[in-house]
Amino acid sequence: MASESSHDQQNSKGENQSFESTHHAPPSASHNFYPAMGYPPSMSYPPPPGQYSGYPPPGYYPYAHAPPAAAYYNATAHRQQMPSGFSRCFFTTIILLTILIFTSSIVMWLVLRPQLPVFHVDNFSVSNFNATLTTFTANWEANLTVRNPNTKLTIEFGELQNFVFYEEDYLLASATAPRPFSLETRTSGVINAKLSANSKDNLVENWVLDKLAKERGNGSVSFNFRMLFWTTFRSGLWWKRHLSMKVLCEDIQVTFVGASSDGNIAANGVNLYLTERKGRKKKKKKKKSSDHNEFLSSFNSS
């Protein structure tokens, strides 16, 4: 028993010495200690070097809670497709064709120099005119000469639509001449338009009848004659252009003699020239004169 107690004391002494040797400064070279009895010396790795002052240890977040990790999205990488040679060639061809067509149109326009046809009113008459509060009848007849001033272009006229208006835009009569015709270079043609109206087929309002009767009592009545038709400017078989033409003849003064129901235009033939217009503007009332019989046209490309 004495030997076991002495052996335990030695073991405890050795453990104390081993603990002191681990947690105290190492002894100087002048002291010699024998290794403790009972347990072999520790073979663990030395502790890592200490951190510099002022920097937190690695893995330490200085705030209360570390933020959550950012979500990771596995983005699919798409290959950028370069335009193919066919598409580049296609768009280049379209651009070149557009430039070529535009340039050729300008050149052809400068070479051919299209001119509008010239109209001349030979006669405009009204027959069987009767305007009362109960009855309205009238027959209009217009004879016009149209001339093609072009030296390189033929003009083809399609279906003619003729209209007679009273006071700007009140329609009294309309008719269609389905017979087409054409004019060669520097030639002329005749257009004959006939229109009729009666109260049975075309009801006319009372205020219009009242104004017509008052003008007829003064000896003359003013009408507006208009034409609408399609034309084709052609040069042989290789160039043509379709145009829609609207011709206006405003304030045609028809004079009546005495109590007769027949009347004719006051002027003996008037040259009527076509001018390009984008739209018809309302004309202000002015003094009546012979130059009121002037044609205006809307010359619009189809």
Which CATH number characterizes residue 296's domain?
2.60.40.10
Q: In terms of pLDDT, which residue wins out, 177 or 166?
A: 166
| The pLDDT of residue 275 | 44
The residue written with tokens 């104004």 in the block is: 211
Q: In terms of pLDDT, which residue wins out, 260 or 292?
A: 260
Q: Does the structure show a pLDDT above 50 at 88?
A: yes
| The pLDDT of residue 128 | 95
The residue written with tokens 């240890």 in the block is: 57
Q: What's the pTM value of the predicted model, to 2 decimals? A: 0.59
Is 61 part of any domain?
no
DSSP state letters, 20-61: HHHHSPPPPTT---PPPSSSPPP-PPPPPPPPPTTSPPTT--
Q: What is the number of other CB atoms lying within 10 angstroms of the CB of residue 118?
A: 16
Is there a contact between 23 and 42 (Cβ–Cβ < 8 Å)? no
Is 254 part of any domain?
yes
Measured CA to CA in angstroms, residue 20 lies from 13, 14, 26, 47 at distances of 11, 10, 9, 17
Beta bridge partners of 252: 223
Q: In terms of pLDDT, which residue wins out, 265 or 8?
A: 265
Q: Do β-strands 154-166 and 181-183 pair in parallel, antiparallel, or remain unpaired?
A: antiparallel
Is 72 part of any domain?
no
Q: Does the structure show a pLDDT above 60 at 28?
A: no
Tell me the one-letter amino acid at 43: M
CA–CA gap between residue 165 and residue 2 (Å, rounded): 149
Residue 165: which pLDDT band, with cuts at 50, 70 and 90? very high
The residue written with tokens 């000896």 in the block is: 219
Q: Is 128 exposed, middle or buried (0-12, 13-18, 19+ CB in 10 A)?
A: exposed
Structure confidence by residue, pLDDT tens digits, 242-270: 988 888 888 889 999 888 999 998 665 55
Is 45 part of any domain?
no
Mean pLDDT within 178-196: 93
Residue 192: which pLDDT band, with cuts at 50, 70 and 90? very high
Is there a contact between 169 and 138 (Cβ–Cβ < 8 Å)? no
Q: Does the structure show a pLDDT above 90 at 14?
A: no
Show the tokens assigned to 216. 């007829």
Is 51 part of any domain?
no
Length of the chain: 302
Q: In terms of pLDDT, which residue wins out, 297 or 39?
A: 39
Angle value at C-alpha 223, between 276 and 213, nearest 5 degrees = 160
Structure confidence by residue, pLDDT tens digits, 96-138: 999 998 898 888 878 888 898 988 888 999 999 999 888 899 9
Structure confidence by residue, pLDDT tens digits, 201-214: 778 899 999 999 99
Residue 62: which pLDDT band, with cuts at 50, 70 and 90? low
| The pLDDT of residue 110 | 83
Mean pLDDT within 264-278: 57
- Percent of the chain residues past pLDDT 90, beyond the cut: 36
Measured CA to CA in angstroms, residue 281 lies from 11, 169, 193, 269, 277 at distances of 126, 12, 25, 25, 9
CA–CA gap between residue 51 and residue 289 (Å, rounded): 112
Tell me the one-letter amino acid at 154: T
Show the tokens assigned to 126. 């009204």
Show the tokens assigned to 296. 């205006």
Q: Does the structure show a pLDDT above 90 at 36?
A: no
Total structural domains within the chain: 1
Is there a contact between 145 and 119 (Cβ–Cβ < 8 Å)? yes
Is there a contact between 230 and 244 (Cβ–Cβ < 8 Å)? yes
When the pLDDT of each residue in the chain is averaged and rounded to a whole number, the result is 75
Residue ranges of E strands in 90-133:
118-131
* Range of the structural domain that residue 134 is part of: 116-281+290-301
Show the tokens assigned to 179. 């017979």
Residue 174: which pLDDT band, with cuts at 50, 70 and 90? very high
